[in-house]
A and B are shown apart, each in its own frame.
Chain A
Amino acid sequence: MLEIKNLHARSDETEILRGIDLQVNAGEIHAIMGPNGSGKSTLAHVIAGREDYEVTQGEIHYNGKDLLDMEIEVRAAEGIFLAYQYPVEISGVSNKYFLRTAMNCVRKHHGESPIKRTEFIALLKQNLDRLGMDKSMMDRSVNEDFSGGEKKRNEILQMAMLQPKLAVLDETDSGLDIDALKIVANGVNALRSPERATIVVTHYQRLLDYIVPDKVHVLAGGKIVRSGDKSLALELEDKGYGFLQELTAT
């Protein structure tokens, strides 16, 4: 589904990603871990297409297409979803209207007609219930005056409604209490299917207690320094990121 080869990217003059290779297949969940400043978030945003980052080398293929050639909204319409670490506020735009507009933009891209009102409401209700969200949140402005936990849940709600093929979660677990963490994890697990893939970017192992990854990658200094199965996450938890310094030094 996603194939990243020798990816280098920089912001202004600073090179952040220095040769990433990663392959994510349909049906898989990958966890990307690593210390602060290792390039985890940058990788997530480069996949989404943020224009602040310049890709200087390497390539990304998504379902056989050149991803780097695609506009941000085309990537989104083709099924790439990024759950933001810091979701953005849009004043005066109701959450419900925003969700419906986003869904319709994606549908339009695929030549489908806008979603019917009743169908939308039913789908929304189902997902709100699953995520333990109050429906009054739908009439509030997008992320405005939301608590940290509400914002993260709202990201997962959007993901559940948009049903992406490749979901990238950028530190969605940060700042969440254990109950909220479980809900977020349920949201991700509910989307698990042979046609979809998820990349979970996280600093801590604890999210992986609830979202069990197929593969774990450790990012340091803009490179993947180790890959393994879920036991790698536990090892990291045990040893801390300190031991990576030896790895990156070599």
Chain B
Amino acid sequence: MTSENAMLEEFAQREYEHGFVTDIEADAIAPGLSEDVVRLISSKKNEPEWLLEWRLKAYRHWLTLEEPNWHNVKYPPIDYQASVYYSAPKEKPKLSSLDEVDPVLLETYEKLGIPLQEQKVLANVAVDAVFDSVSIATTYRETLEKHGVIFRPFSEAVHEHPELVKKYLGSVIPYSDNFYASLNSAVFSDGSFCFIPKGVRCPMELSTYFRINAQNTGQFERTLIIAEEGAHVSYLEGCTAPKRDEHQLHAAVVELVAMDDAEIKYSTVQNWYPGDAEGVGGIYNFVTKRGACRGKNSKISWTQVETGSAITWKYPSVILQGDNSVGEFYSVAVTANHQQADTGTKMIHIGKNTKSTIISKGISAGVGQNSYRGEVKMMKGATNARNFSQCDSLLIGDRCGAHTFPYIEVRNTTAKVEHEASTSKVGEDQIYYLRQRGLSTEDAVNMIVNGFCKEVYDLLPMEFALEARKLLSVSLEGSVG
């Protein structure tokens, strides 16, 4: 039986396939953070005064904050002065089409399996690609514009649609929200901006790929999605980074706003570099994601597959303000080797008849530690509100851990909250059974893990579900004898 364990251990050892570095000249500023750095970032992006002021307010507030320590993850103190807060590929000035993007960059995205070119016609996905700190290319701009959909690098939206950005930036996650959100608000460099006007069903999936390339660089992107009355959008996000021996910081902010009858589906496949088998290197992923169901009958749905990062700290949440609004959170989080994840969601029910569903699947292997942390709040006005939460943990081997921290607060007597939790192990008897039918150990574990995640996979857009499946098998892949 010890041999079985050793085999599972081995199985949990992973190879990271996106670990290459792109050799490209970068325009980066010196490491460190100060008001001057905030001003420099703002001026490099040629930002209006009001945005600079907002950044500075955020920075000054950040100085008063302490790094949170309530989470169930351990890491040495981060030196925020050692990080580079802005790095951009040295650009040829003004690109008018994709053909003019540096071919080395395009090649990078090809390697990542993200063809920015015409293949996308078939896939029907519009892509924005963010490399280190700046947005490289946005495809399908014209098709989208015909429908009135604005899909832009954030930095461009600031210039082209200042009134929209000003109105919604920080409206869901204020610059004072938390330590990492404040930091992001001060130094964010780029990200995606997306606006779906009233009554429009976005004609294609929108997608952003993030890539950290430069060394010692933090990535602080900001995404803002607004769905006006009756608008529908499905948005996908993917992330990778090269292998580096030092930790890199990633602190993103994503804000979603859904008005009456609007629907936003936000899917993430997060595959930042997790560090090596000994826990050296890897991305610190401290992310704030929140959606506001402002309008009645609105719906926001978060689906995430988290296989990367050394540390993940992330709680995509929904504020259910509009009556009859719906919030959903579906998550698969994998921690192998020395990875740690403290992730979950918050569902804040304010309006009447609001409904939320939480399905969280945590998989731990190696000495990985996986925590689910979820908060369900039923406010006074949340008459007949409903929540259902289900948290399942799967353990591979006997040195990893799974933890569940549910917080429930109910202030309305008609509200109903249900919570279910389970923990299971990949059983030796299951592996034996599948091998007796001809599957290799690796195929057997993949089959068991994929079965465990099925409820969440079924909710991912199809091509993402395939990617997630592949990613998970790579994550848990090893040299099984």
Instruction: Please report A residues at the B interface, Cβ cutoff 8 Å.
Output: 48-52, 71-73, 75-77, 81-82, 84, 87-93, 98, 101-103, 105-106, 109, 141, 158, 162
Contact = CB atoms under 8 A, between A and B. Distances in A.
A144 B321 CA distance: 40
Contacts of A91: 451-452
B454 interface: yes
A101 B440 contact: no
B439 A101 contact: yes
B436 interface: yes
A73 B447 CA distance: 15
B480 to A, nearest CB: 11
A13 to B, nearest CB: 14
Interface in B421-450: 427, 429-430, 432-441, 443, 447-448, 450
Given A76-B438, A93-B448, A105-B437, A50 B432 contact: yes
Contacts of A52: 1
Given A76-B436, A158-B437, A162-B437, A105 B451 contact: no
A90 B430 CA distance: 7
A51 B437 contact: no
Contact of A73 (B440, B448, B451): B440
B173 to A, nearest CB: 34
Contacts of B427: 88
B3 interface: yes
In the A-B complex, list the 3 residue pairs whose CB atoms are closest, starting with the nearest. Answer: A92-B451, A92-B454, A105-B438
A88 B433 contact: yes
A82 B427 CA distance: 18
A72 B436 contact: yes
A141 B433 CA distance: 14
Interface string B212-250: 000000000000000000000000000000000000000
A72 B432 contact: yes
A105 B439 contact: yes
Given A72-B435, A76-B435, A92-B454, A105 B440 contact: yes
Contact of A51 (B4, B447, B448): B4
Interface of B: 1, 3-4, 427, 429-430, 432-441, 443, 447-448, 450-455
Contacts of B455: 92
Given A52-B1, A82-B436, A91-B451, 11 more contacts: A72-B432, A73-B439, A73-B440, A90-B430, A90-B448, A92-B451, A93-B448, A93-B450, A93-B451, A103-B438, A105-B440
B429 A88 contact: yes
Contacts of B433: 84, 87-88, 90
5 contacts: A73-B435, A91-B451, A91-B452, A93-B447, A141-B451
B443 A101 contact: yes
Contact of B432 (A51, A81, A92, A109): A51
Contact of A98 (B435, B440, B447): B447
A122 B448 CA distance: 27
A54 B433 CA distance: 18
B1 A105 contact: no
Contacts of B438: 73, 76-77, 102-103, 105-106, 109, 162
A51 B436 contact: no
Nearest to B458: A92
Q: Determine which residue in B4, B435, B448 has the highest number of CB atoms from chain A within 10 A of its CB, and name it.
A: B435
Contacts of B443: 101, 105
A68 B469 CA distance: 34
A103 to B, nearest CB: 8
Contact of B430 (A88, A102, A162): A88
Nearest to A161: B437
A188 B432 CA distance: 23
Contact of A92 (B429, B441, B450): B450
B6 to A, nearest CB: 11
Q: Taking each of B434, B450, B452, B453, which has the highest tally of chain A beta carbons within 10 Å of its own beta carbon?
A: B434
Contacts of A73: 435-436, 438-441
Contacts of A158: 437
A101 B437 CA distance: 9
A89 B452 CA distance: 12
Contacts of B432: 50-51, 72, 88
A141 B455 CA distance: 12
A52 B431 CA distance: 13
A173 B427 CA distance: 25
A81 B435 CA distance: 11
A24 to B, nearest CB: 18
Contacts of B450: 92-93
Contacts of A72: 432, 435-436
A91 B426 CA distance: 11
B435 A101 contact: no
Nearest to B453: A92
Contacts of A87: 433
Find the residue from B1, B3, B438, B443 having the highest chain A CB count within 10 A.
Answer: B438
Nearest to B429: A88
A59 B443 CA distance: 29
Contacts of A89: 430
A129 to B, nearest CB: 22
B437 A102 contact: yes
Given A88-B429, A98-B447, A48 B436 contact: yes
A228 B441 CA distance: 39
Contacts of B1: 51-52
